[in-house]
Every structure is written in structure tokens, then in C-alpha cells.
Amino acid sequence: MNYLNDIIHSNIGWFHFLTAVLAMITGTIVLLYKKGTTFHKRTGYIYVVAMLSLNISSFFIMSFGSFSLFHFFAIVSLVSIFGGMLPTIKKRKNWFGYHFYFMSWSVVGLFCAFWAEVGTRFVDNIKDFWWMVALATFVTAFIGSLVINREAKKLNLK
């Protein structure tokens, strides 16, 4: 549990935690509320900044002594953020669909990462950790896919 104390008592750990909470709140709001409004855009930009800060700060946390699977998923998360924002900047054909799906899955991925984070904090047995994280991630991704599909139908993307 020395790792937990290091994260809790480090500035980068607190920054990472606070940006994660901010991203979870704003990401949920953006995913579930009306699209295209000024509120959506402003909240969405807060989400993007929080996610960029969260992912970049993750590279300064070496929970397993070096680059780990968590860092790989931080890169995947960054790709999803850029994949969601580039269509809004370029505004090419079908831009909204790309933006919607990349950003929505970014939010779902953030919640999946939450379970991995919970596992590293509270599960001591590595075997139990992987099963707990895998199950929680699967359930989260499944529920996320239902929410995304429901929202996509509302937006005539499906």
C-alpha cells in the first residue's frame, strides 16, 4: 500500500485524481444532454482539457515502475479525444457522427479506466485484480454501448 500513499500525497496524483473527477462529470453531462448547444460546447471543451490533462499526467505516474498497460490505454484515450475533436475542426462530410462516436466512447473508456484505478487501490491479489477489472470493464462497456446506441438513435446516427 506504499503506492497508494505515494499517489495520495503527491501533487501529480492529486492533479490526476481531480482531472479524472472533472472529466467524469463533464463527460457524462456531454454524453447525456442535448448536443450542439452552447452549454454542450463549453462543457465539452472542459471535458477535452480535463482528459488531455488526465492522460498527460498519467505518464508521470509509474505505478508498476515503468511504462505499463495503463499508459498504453492513456495513448488510446488521447487518440479517441483527437479522433473526436478533429472532425469538429474540419467539418467534413459526416463529421458529427465521427465526433459523436469517438467522444462517446472516450467517456465510456474513462469509466472503464475508473474500475482499473479502483482495482489498483483496493485489490491486493493480482489475480483478483484482473478478474474484477475485466468484469467491471465489460459491464461498463456494455452499458455504455446501450447508452451510446440510444443517443445515436435520437440523433438519427443509427
pLDDT above 90 (res 125): no
Percent of the chain with pLDDT over 90: 56
Q: What average pLDDT does range 126-146 have in this prediction?
A: 87
Positions of E strands within the chain: none
pLDDT of residue 98: 94
Domain that holds residue 47: 2-154
Task: Say how many domains are in the chain.
Answer: 1
Residue with the bigger pLDDT between 5 and 81: it is 81
Q: For residues 49-74, b (16+ Cβ closer than 10 Å) or e, as one string?
A: ebbbbbbebbeebeeeeeeeebbebb
pLDDT above 50 (res 113): yes
pLDDT of residue 62: 66
Residue pair 80/67 in contact by the 8 Å Cβ criterion: no
pLDDT of residue 12: 82
pLDDT above 50 (res 108): yes
The whole-model pTM stands at 0.83
pLDDT of residue 1: 45
pLDDT category at 28 given cuts 50, 70, 90 is very high
Here the cell at position 97 is 457522427
Percent of the chain with pLDDT over 70: 87
